[in-house]
């Protein structure tokens, strides 16, 4: 997996030189923006610990109550402004959020920061060593806890502090090759199993947006990689941010002064961090590799982005579900089930089959652009890697960052060919796998791939059109 790559030790000296000192903050954002008559780009970043304080918080990786905290979980925010419009990107070391709660977070962030909800992206790293916050499995027993209220206040405060730190900046973008992951869908004997697939589609790079203060120094960086944070998973019952957290810690260890480093999850629905369930030490090593790759990107002669107007465009698709299994099949599965929670999910599936209703899944798409130079595309749910590759191919912008797990996560989004495999489609695509575990109990219709790809095309086209109108 590391053939042809430098070792971690070989990276250390050069990577350490990649992160520079923090300069003195300038005044409050309102004062900076008031004097920003030239339309120059402003940015501010902030972070806060969001680790649940209650002992025994249920963790999805080990599927049991946590026994302590190995390293804290963080919420971070980057706010960009051109003096007229503000855009906010919020990242968390959490699993993701159901739509109802995500909308609640957006409203609270908007109320406190003054940034409209449509101009905020909330990305989750999909960390499995964090609380269960998506509508999957035993979610009904483990949501609406006291820390849900605390989290909304904390994230809103983080965004407000980022707004208060707005100052003139330069942005640089670089895509650095690196790989700490594998595609996890391995076809064998007519069906798909979850195992490393060396021939499966991957995303072997990290995208890095580096933020430099015009008065000198660096404010931090936003970096995105695509892979499930499951290197710890069930190997520990402690809370940890897994490899993304250790990547941030690596960068912080090389920094002089306070800087904010933010991890955003890409389209890693069918990709696992490597090695799976190997524990905290392995996650720390993978995070160190990723952190060094980010540092190399910062150190490189990364492209300086031209200053331009900020524009945004959002839409929401309605994705159809497959029809449920036949009533008789549902009843037979219930009779064969020996586990009460599984039986209850099958009973809910039976009720859908008897009612003849399949319904649809919300699919919000959000996009930001900085002039013609940079587009940031936010997609919801657990997107397969193919969608990230597709968006990059279709994008009319010079550089594009694609996030998954953004503004809601309630299902997997496989490809048409995977969904057409039925029960042989594996955990992510089969109707009795993750689809049954998620609270809507149904897999997406195979035609959703075409709808999503057309939706991505339309959003990118409209975003580019918004830019033309703004200029």
Distances (CA, A) of 413 to 15, 19, 137, 172, 446: 36, 37, 17, 31, 10
Cα-Cα-Cα-Cα torsion 261, 55, 409, 46, nearest 10 degrees, comes to -20
Separation of alpha carbons 461 and 394, rounded Å: 9
Say if CB 241 and CB 92 are below 8 A apart: no
Cis omega before residue 275 (within 30°)? Answer: yes
The reported pLDDT for the residue numbered 458 is: 98
The reported pLDDT for the residue numbered 470 is: 64
The reported pLDDT for the residue numbered 243 is: 98
Identify which of 228, 212, 207 has the alpha carbon closest to the alpha carbon of residue 294: 207
DSSP H helical ranges for 133-223: 146-164
- Give me 273's structure tokens: 């961090």
Q: List % helix, strand, coil for the chain (3-state, nearest 5).
A: 35, 30, 35
Cross-strand pairs, 402: 377
Q: Which stretches in the chain have pLDDT values below 50?
A: 1-29, 35, 37
Beta carbons within 10 angstroms of residue 38's beta carbon: 9
- CA 218 to the chain's CA centroid: 24
The reported pLDDT for the residue numbered 13 is: 42
Provide the CB-side half-sphere exposure for 243 (13 A, CA). Answer: 32
The reported pLDDT for the residue numbered 210 is: 96
Say if CB 152 and CB 100 are below 8 A apart: no
Identify which of 412, 404, 415 has the alpha carbon closest to the alpha carbon of residue 437: 412
The values of phi and psi at residue 368, to 5°, are -120, 150
pTM to 2 decimals? 0.91
Q: For 284-308, how does the pLDDT look when each residue is reduced to its tens digit (9 = 90+)?
A: 999 999 999 999 999 986 778 888 8
Give, for 297, the enclosing helix (H) or strand (E).
helix 280-299
Identify which of 222, 245, 201 has the alpha carbon closest to the alpha carbon of residue 392: 201
Say if CB 222 and CB 171 are below 8 A apart: no
The reported pLDDT for the residue numbered 26 is: 33
């Amino acid at each position: 997996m590391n053939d042809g790559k430098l070792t971690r030790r070989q990276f250390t000296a050069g990577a350490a030189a990649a992160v520079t000192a923090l300069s003195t903050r300038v005044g409050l954002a309102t004062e900076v923006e008031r004097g920003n008559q030239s339309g120059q780009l402003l940015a501010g970043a902030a972070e806060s610990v969001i680790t649940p304080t209650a002992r025994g918080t249920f963790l999805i990786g080990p599927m049991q109550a946590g026994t302590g905290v190995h390293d804290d979980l963080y919420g971070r925010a980057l706010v960009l402004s051109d003096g007229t419009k503000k855009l906010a990107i919020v990242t968390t070391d959490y699993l993701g959020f159901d739509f109802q709660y995500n909308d609640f977070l957006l409203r609270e962030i908007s109320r406190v920061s003054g940034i409209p909800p449509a101009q905020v992206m909330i990305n989750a790293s999909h960390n499995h060593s964090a609380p269960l916050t998506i509508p999957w499995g035993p979610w009904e027993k483990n949501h609406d806890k006291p820390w849900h209220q605390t989290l909304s206040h904390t994230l809103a405060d983080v965004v407000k502090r980022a707004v208060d730190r707005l100052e003139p900046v330069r942005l640089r973008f670089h895509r650095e090759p690196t790989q700490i992951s594998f595609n996890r869908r391995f076809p064998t004997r007519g069906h798909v199993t979850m195992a490393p697939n060396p021939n499966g589609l991957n995303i072997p790079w990290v995208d890095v947006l580096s933020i430099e203060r015009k008065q000198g120094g660096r404010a931090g960086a936003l970096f995105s990689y695509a892979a499930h944070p499951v290197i710890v998973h069930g190997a520990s019952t402690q809370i940890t941010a897994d490899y993304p957290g250790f990547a941030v810690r690596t960068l912080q260890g090389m920094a002089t002064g306070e800087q904010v480093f933010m991890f955003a999850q890409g389209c890693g629905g069918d990709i696992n961090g490597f090695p799976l369930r190997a524990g905290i030490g392995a996650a720390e090593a993978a995070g160190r590799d990723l952190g060094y790759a980010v540092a190399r990107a910062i150190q490189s002669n990364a492209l300086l982005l031209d200053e331009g107007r900020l524009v945004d465009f959002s839409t929401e698709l309605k994705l159809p579900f497959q029809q449920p299994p036949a009533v008789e099949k549902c009843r037979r599965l219930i009779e064969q089930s020996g586990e009460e929670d599984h039986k209850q999910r099958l009973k809910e599936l039976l009720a859908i089959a008897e009612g003849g209703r399949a319904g649809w899944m919300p699919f919000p798409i959000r996009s930001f652009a900085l002039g013609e130079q940079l587009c940031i595309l936010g997609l919801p749910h657990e997107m397969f890697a193919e969608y990230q590759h597709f968006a990059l191919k279709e994008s009319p912008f010079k550089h594009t960052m694609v996030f998954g797990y953004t503004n809601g996560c309630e299902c997997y989004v496989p490809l048409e060919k995977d969904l057409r495999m039925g029960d042989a489609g594996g955990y992510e695509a089969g109707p009795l796998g993750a689809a049954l575990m998620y609270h809507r109990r149904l897999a997406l219709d195979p035609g959703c791939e075409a709808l999503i790809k057309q939706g991505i095309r339309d959003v990118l086209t409209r975003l580019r059109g918004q830019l033309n109108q703004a200029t």
